Structure formats: C-alpha cells, structure tokens
Amino acid sequence: AIARSLPALAVHLDPLGWLPLRREIVRYLVARGIECQPSDIAVVNGAQQAVDATAHALIDPGDTVVMEQPGYFGAALAFTACQSNLVGVGVDEQGLKTAELARVLQARRVKLVYTTPAAQCPTGAVMGDARRRELLALADEYQVPIFEDDYDSELRFNGAPIPALKRLDHSGQVIHAGTFSKVLFPTLRVGFVVAARPLLEKMVLARVSADFATGAVPQAALAALLRSGVLARHVRRMRRLYAERQRAMLDALARHMPAGARWSAPPGGHMLWIRLPAVDPDRVFYDAAAEGIAYTRGEVFHFDGRGTDCLALSFANLTPPRIADGVALVAAVVRRQVAPGRRRSRSARGPGSEQRRTRRAPGDGGTVDAVGTRG
C-alpha cells in the first residue's frame, strides 16, 4: 500500500497532510464524537509540533499562557520559547482545577489554556464531566482558547477511551491535538491537530515555516495501518499489556516503597507519578542511575522549580519482572535516604491495599493528589 502511494506522495506534500491520512483521522475522530472534516485537520510531527504551532500562531511576547502544574514540559518549552508569561494552575484527582483557573482569568487576560484532560500529564488524572463543563464555560466567558493535548487517551485499560473535551465544544474554542507516539512509538513523529479554520491556517503557516510538511512515508504507512484495522487491533493489545505492566509497578511500589511515599494509580497510561518522602532528590537520582535505573525527575514537570520530591516512572517498554526488579532497586535507594524514624515496618499492609485511598500530599500547595500510599 505504501509503495503504491509513493509516486503521488513523492512529488507533492500538502502542508495540511496527505488527504487519505486525514480522511482516516476524520473517521477515527468522528468515532470519538468530534465532528470534523479533512479540511479541519492538519497532520503534524507529533503533538509537540501542534503545541509549538499553536504557540507561534497565538502568542506574542509577554502574553499569559496557563498550564497545569505539574504539567507537560514540552508545552512549557514551546510557550517559553515564544516568551510567554507562564502561569500554573494546580491539578487534583479531577485534573485541572477550574476554580483556580477562574481566579486567574478574573485577574488577567489569558491568551491560551493548555490541558491534558484524558490523562493529566504526569499524574494521569482524568478530568471529570463537571470540570469539563466548567472549563468550556470559562473558555466561552473569557473567550480564551483551550489546547486539549489528547496524547494518551487511547491507552485506557478498561472501557472505551475517555471522550474528548472537543466533543463538547460548541463554540470552536478547543484546539484538539492527538498523536501516534504513544500507541505506536515516539520516533514516528506523526500527530494531528483539529482547530477552527482561521487559527488552523495560522498554525499551518507556522509549521510550513518550520519544516513544510510531515514526511511522506510515515503518512502513507499510518494511513494503511488505520485503514486496515491493524492499528486498532494493536491498540487493544497494548491496553492489555500496559494494564499488566501498571499492575506490576503498583504491586512493586506497595511492596517496597518506604512510609510517606505516594503514587498515582490512573486508569490508563504508561507511567506513574510518585511522591517521595523527605529525601535528597539528587542522591536518589544518581544512586538510582548507578543501579541502571532512569526516571524523569519531578521538577521537569514544573516550570517554577517545584516537584523535586516527585518522579515519573515509566513502565512502557519493560516486562513485569523487570518492572518489579527496577522498582525494588529504586525503593532500596529511597529507603537508604529516608531518616531512620520514617522507615516503614516490614509488617505493612499487603500490596494494593491502599489503591482506592485518595490523599493530598502534604506541603505541595494542593497541586497533586495521589492514590496509593505507604505511610
């Protein structure tokens, strides 16, 4: 199929993306409740380029952009590169705190709100229905566009993927971005963005200026994978696989982490957000690296230097036994750092016994709620 498409693709690349691929993406989006046509979509080099093109199209130096804290570092990078004034809004187990957002919107003019409603990055929290309605009402009231980064919605372990915020958007304020990075692989560099026409045109101009268009071969390959149903089957398999891997990580955390550690247990995704008890985060990071364990440090997900007591542990490409071993190693490093009085007793409750409990971590300004805790 790819070879058949290439003669046409080799001579002309539409900056909006190859039409057969956009048609497949429309089919997928309509199934998710987003009414759109191929002309409403631009294929981009991953969700990151959608964020970047949006920032270029909308943001002038000094403009205020609101994003979740903790939040996706790639978005913070794109908004910072456009010299925006970044303002953080906290998240809890329902995602972005709309009451806090309302206060920011009352106080100043905001050019854009960036959010990850289906799977808050990095906590994995799913934005509830009431919050979604509040967010859209605020977007209407203050005429502020919302960037919906839908990067991880397909990796939900049970039931249908979380409906898109865009589905409820009747005034065209939501810019919806998706990606094939999580369901296939991140080096593929193909994503898409749906936005109202004048804005989409500006975004496409920004991306043309950056790199003209997304490569022909990945576009043709993706169109074939979508059309044939292979991708849908693959995603179903990934959901089962990732559910097993998340289970292995949750069990290992419950078994090995010392008192005071807390972690998220989201209904999908590829990583967990972990809050450590009082430890030296540099020593934990370098000691873990010496044991061969890499993770993303919590401050990477904050643009204001907070988050040093947190980390994001990915289970995406590890088997359950390797996950169990890796978590045991990290936990041993953390335990070595914890003040003796705070070590947990070995007779602590069994694995997973606290998964349903929701607690706010102390002293974090209410930014993150974690379910699953030791201590």
Q: Which parts of this chain interact with ligand PLP (CB under 6 A)? A: 46-48, 72, 74, 116, 121, 149, 151, 179, 181, 186, 191
Residue with Cβ nearer ligand PLP (151 or 315) = 151
Which CB, 51 or 257, lies closer to ligand PLP? 51
DSSP assignment, residue 268?
A: B
| CA 252/CA 245 separation, integer angstroms | 11
Q: How far is the CB of 260 from ligand PLP (least distance, A)?
A: 27
Smallest gap from Cβ 187 to ligand PLP, in A, equals 9
We find the least distance from the C-beta atom of residue 44 to ligand PLP, in angstroms, to be 8
- State the nearest-atom distance from the C-beta of 32 to ligand PLP, in Å: 17
Q: How far apart are CA 164 and CA 152, in angstroms?
A: 11
Query: How far is residue 90's CA from residue 310's CA, in Å, rounded to a whole number?
Result: 15
Pick between residue 64 and residue 181 the one whose CB is nearest to ligand PLP.
Answer: 181
Contact 37, 27 (CB under 8 A): no
Indicate the helix (H) or strand (E) that contains 272. Answer: strand 271-275
Q: Shortest Cβ distance from residue 188 to ligand PLP (Å)? A: 8
- What residue has token string 């502020």? 144
Residue of 36, 34, 41, 40 lying closest to 222 (CA atoms): 41
Q: How far is the CB of 318 from ligand PLP (least distance, A)?
A: 17
Measured between alpha carbons, how far is 275 from 308 in angstroms, rounded to an integer?
Answer: 9
Minimum distance, C-beta of residue 266 to ligand PLP, in the bound complex (Å): 13
Q: Which is nearer to ligand PLP, 49 or 64 (CB)?
A: 49
Task: Rounding to the nearest 10 degrees, give the CA dihedral for residues 24, 29, 30, 34.
Answer: -150
- The DSSP code sequence of 297-355 is EGGGG-SSS--TTEEEEE-TT--HHHHHHHHHHHHHHHHHHS-GGGPPPTTPPPTTTTT
Identify which of residues 74 and 163 has a Cβ nearer to ligand PLP in the complex: 74
331 by Cβ neighbours in 10 Å (0-12 / 13-18 / 19+) ranks as buried
Q: Are strands 85-92 and 64-69 parallel, antiparallel or unpaired?
A: parallel
Closest contact distance (angstroms) between CB of 5 and ligand PLP is 22
The smaller minimum CB distance to ligand PLP, of residues 115 and 373, is found at 115
Q: Which helix (H) or strand (E) holds 103?
A: helix 98-107
**112 touches 66 (CB < 8 A):** yes
> Among all residues, whose Cβ is closest to ligand PLP?
46
